[in-house]
Structure 1
C-alpha cells in the first residue's frame, strides 16, 4: 500500500471537493520508462492522495519524449526537426496543479529538469483571457529524491523558477528524501527506509494537501484578480517580436 494510516485517514475525513481539478507531475528522472525511477516512488504518494480526492492526475517522464532545447514554444520553427514540448505544454496549461520532480546529481536538479523549466519559460510570455501571463491561477510544488545532499538547494531553484513564471507557491510546497551522505541506497532500494520515513511522508502529505487547498481556493475565487498585473495593459517590457532573450 502506497499510503500510511494517517494519510488514508486524512483522505477519508476530507470535506472538500477537488473533483474538478487536474494535476500534472513531470518526473524529471534520467531513466526512460520502464526503468525503475526512485523519484516515481515519492510521486506515487502525492499522486494517490490526489486521486483519492477525485483529482485527475497525469504523470509524465519528459525523458520519454523528444524535447528540443531552447526557449521558444515550438523549436521546430527554430531549426529543430522534432519537438514534443507543444503537446506536453498543452497538458501542463490545462492543469490546476504542476509538480516538478527530480533526482539530485552533484547537488543539483537533473539536466532534464533544467530543460523542462527552460521550456516552461518559453511559454511564459503567453497571455490568458484576462491579459495576464499564461500560468496565472495555477499552483506549483516539487518533489526531490537522492542519496546525496542538495534537496533544499534544488527546491529553492525549482520553486523560485515556478513563481517567477506565474505559478502560486503554497506553504510547504516541497518534500524530499535523501539517504546518508556518501554512496548508499536510493529511495526504493530494499532497506533504504525511504518509504517509511516519517519526515518525508509528512512533508509529502503537507505539500500535496496545500497544493490541493490553494488550487481549490484560487478556482473558487475566479482565478487571480486581473488588476495591476496585466501584461496586455503595460507598455514597458519586452518588444512584441522578442518575447524571450536570445537563447544562444
Structure 2
C-alpha cells in the first residue's frame, strides 16, 4: 500500500489561549508540532489565535444583527468553513477548557443549523480534533467536552482525536519552558503524531468518497416529507 496523498486537504488550527499576540502561548507550542506534520504531508494549513479577534459572545451567525457593534465572526467563519479539518487548541484553567474555547464552540453552534448542498448540516464531511496543554489536571476532561461539542454540530471524530501535555499538578513549568522537557515527552509526541494522522486519514476518506450520503440524514429532505425507514412504533 502506497503513501497516502493528503495534499488536497485544508486544516485550520484555532488556538484558544487567553494570551493575545505576541505573548508566548504554550498551547501554540504543541499546535506547532502537529502543524509541522501537516505541512510536511502537503496539507494547506491555516492558524487563528482566537483572542486576537473581536468576536462577540452569542449564538447567532452575526451578532451585529442582534445589536452588537463589532463582530469579526462572519469573516473568521469563512476560514473555518473552508477547512476540511478543524483542530481546537486550549490551555487548562481550573480543570476546564478556556473561556475563549467555550466562546468558539458557542459560535460554531450558531452556524450548525445551516446546510450544505446535499441538505445536510453544514459541518458534515468535516473532521475535528483538539490539543490541550497545562500544568494542572484536565486534559481528558477538556478533550471530552470539546470533542462532544464538535460531533454534536456535525464534525466527524476519528480514533484518538486528542493530544495534550501537562506538567506536575500545581505551579510549575509549562510546555515551552525548557525545564519541563516537554518536547521529549514520548507519550505526548506519540499521541500528537497519531492524532494528526488520524485526522488526515478520516478527512481523506470522506473526501475520496464524496462525503456522507444524504440518505437518511438530509434536513432538506426531511423538511420536504422524506422519512426513509422511520416510523413511530404502534403502542397497544
Please report how far the alpha carbon of residue 146 of structure 1 lies from its aligned counterpart in structure 2 after TM superposition: 0.1
How far apart are the structure 1 equivalents of 2:109 and 2:197? 26
Q: Secondary structure at the match of 1:162?
A: helix
How far does the alpha carbon of each residue in 1:129-183 deviate from its partner, in whole angstroms, 9 at most, with x for none? 0000000000000000000001100000000000000000000000010000111
Aligned residues: 224
Q: CA deviation at 1:193?
A: 1.4
1:217 aligns with 2:205: yes
* Matching of residues 1-248 of structure 1 within 5 Å: 15-235=3-223
Structure 1: give runs of 5+ residues left out of the alignment.
1-13, 237-248
Q: Gapped runs of 5+ residues in structure 2?
A: 225-236
CA distance in 1 between partners of 2:108 and 2:137 (Å): 26
Q: CA deviation at 1:34?
A: 0.7
Task: Report deviation, 1:197.
Answer: 0.4
Cα distance, 1:42 vs. partner?
A: 0.2
Structure with higher Rg: it is: 2
Deviation at 1:232, TM superposition (A): 1.0
Q: What's the C-alpha RMSD, in Å, of the aligned pairs?
A: 1.3
- Alpha-carbon separation, structure 2, partners of 1:16 and 1:234: 36
- 1:166-212 Cα distance to aligned partner (Å, 9 max, x none): 00000000001000011110000121011110000000000000000
- The TM-score with structure 1 as length reference comes to 0.89
SS at match of 1:228: coil
Distance 1:25 1:87 in 2: 16
Q: Measure the CA separation in 1 of the matches of 2:178 and 2:146.
A: 29
Structure 1 segments (4+ residues) deviating >6 Å:
none
Return the offset for 1:235.
3.8
- CA distance in 1 between counterparts of 2:103 and 2:83 reads 20
